Amino acid sequence: MFKKFSPSTDIAGQSALKSSVQRSIRAQLLETLSIDAETLEQIWPKKENLIQVKCREHITIFTLHGVPLFFQHFDDKIMPSLRLVHKYPSMLPHVKIDRGAIRYLFAGAHMMCPGFTSAGGALPPADAALPAGTVVAVHCEGKEHAAAVGILKLSTEDIKKVNKGVGVEIATHLGDDFWNVQKI
């Protein structure tokens, strides 16, 4: 999503959000992220206004004091930035790719099912299965920190069953152009 993204050319405009919109974003975040209102308050205090940064290709970045916290493509689910996920590692459910897949992740590829089902990968057990469309943090074999944020293309059970094709569509990964934007 953020290939060749450059803040100086790809940002169309910034604006403060209406308080009604802020409220609905807050509600949406509490729904998608596994954080409580208190934690969200730490991340984004109620009295502070989120700034909406409109970018090319229908990407919207939400910043607080210039720091990108969340982003959104069209009106898909709002996703947290990878740096935010690093700060609150449990805000998203985890999936894990094997070591062999890491380099493809860094090259900007979407993650294929076998990367999750092989010995080094991991998916939640059947009783904690995640449906398609869930925003997940992609972790890597042998690493502590999440390396990407993406959306499940298939449910985790289907990834195990089908075991081919794209399992997770990567929205942002370590080292991509969004990662490198620390302030807008």
Partner 1 sequence: MADDEQPTQPIAGPSTVLYCQGTRATLVGGFTVLTDPFCFLRHARCTTLFSAVCSLPPEYCEFGSHLSKCKAWLEDAYPGLYQEYYSEEALASKVGTLSLDKQAKLEADVAKAEAKAEARAANEEKKKAASKVIIKRIERQKRKYVTSIAGLETFGVDLKKASKALAQRFATSAAVSKTPAGGEEIVVAGDVADDLLELIEDASEGKGNKTSAMFKDVPPDACEIVEEKKKKGGAGAGGE
* Residues at the site binding partner 1, with contacts judged by CB under 8 A: 6-9, 11, 34-36, 38-39, 42-43, 83, 86-90, 93-94, 96, 98-100, 102-103, 106, 118-120, 122, 139, 141-145, 147, 174-175, 177, 179-184
Residue 77 or 94 with smaller CB distance to partner 1: 94
Smallest distance, Å, CB 145 to partner 1? 4
For 123, other C-beta atoms within 10 Å of its C-beta total 23
Contact of 72 with 60, CB cutoff 8 Å:
yes
Residue 61 or 171 with smaller CB distance to partner 1: 61
Smallest distance, Å, CB 20 to partner 1? 28
Q: Cα–Cα distance between 11 and 25 in angstroms, integer?
A: 21
For 169, other C-beta atoms within 10 Å of its C-beta total 12
Q: Cα–Cα distance between 105 and 123 in angstroms, integer?
A: 17
Give the end-to-end CA distance of the chain in Å, rounded to a whole number.
17
Residue 8 or 15 with smaller CB distance to partner 1: 8
